[in-house]
Amino acid sequence: MSQSLNSALSAAVLRLLRPLVAILIRHGIPYGVFAELARKAYVDEAFAQEMPSAKRPTVSSVSAVTGLTRKETKRLKELEIIDDAASASRYSRAIRVVSAWVTDPRFQTPGGNPAVLPHEGQTASFSRLVKEFSGDIPPAAMLSVLEASGTVATSESGVTLLERAYLPTDTPLEKIEILGTDVGELIATIGHNLAAGAGDRLFQRKVSNVLVHPDHLPAFRALSNKKSQQLLEDYHCWLAQHEITKQDSVEEVEPCYVAVGIYYTDSGIVREKGT
């Protein structure tokens, strides 16, 4: 790979990752969990890419392609499900603090409930809790994170735990699934077009303009919503009319998946996501 292509890919990946990382941070997913998922994706994709070849992919061949050790490659290949709760608790310092608060008797009431902790103190204090379970994060910084998520509240009597789990953002699971499917499909389409010949490329276009007057953004958003919805409904009708019917034999006709996606963005959304 030439240096110019390497640099271009690195810059593209960084632009891709920043809005994704913004979502992960808002939902309390620490870097360690992301790194584990990235390693898992590398191993799974390397095995998948080697499958069509004449030789059966091996742990050694995938290790050579990904740069991971053979031991790590084997572990990740056999890892079927990422335990989000367990992984997050290993890496997230906020989660470790809250978990200790609800399990360590030193920071609980005689009845076993999380105690209201004074800000400072050598034993059962919020400062001591943070110092023991969050590494080098200052207590004031951790308090700010937990307050922003609604996990704790402060008063003259001390710091009160409001939630027994650290959840920065309560997002419906259905919306999270869209992140995986829709973004994954767009990247797969772009990846296909990068390698495909002119006649085999899939439709992938966008229209943009950097000189739009901000006063007209609401009108264009309404226009784009209306026309995009109309187009998607046309697609939906066509696809519904061409589905496999009861008269078709499933053995003879294998159903195909197809999707067309439309998205809208503007400079306000881009700045919000930090890209």
Interatomic CA distance for residues 229 and 235, integer angstroms? 10
pLDDT tens digits, 46-65? 998 877 765 788 999 999 98
> Is residue 155 in some structural domain?
yes
For residues 48 and 85, the model is more confident at 48
Among the listed ranges 14-18, 23-27, 83-87, 134-138, which one has the minimum average pLDDT value? 83-87
pLDDT tens digits, 132-182? 988 888 999 999 989 988 899 999 899 999 988 777 776 777 778 888 888
| Number of domains forming the structure of the chain | 1
- % of the chain residues with pLDDT over 90: 51
Interatomic CA distance for residues 186 and 132, integer angstroms? 44
Whole-structure pTM value: 0.66
The residue range of the domain holding 117 is 92-161
Q: b vs e for 45-79, b when ≥16 Cβ sit within 10 Å of the residue's Cβ? A: ebbeeeeeeeeebebebbbebbebeeeebbebbee
> Is residue 50 in some structural domain?
no
> Is residue 135 in some structural domain?
yes
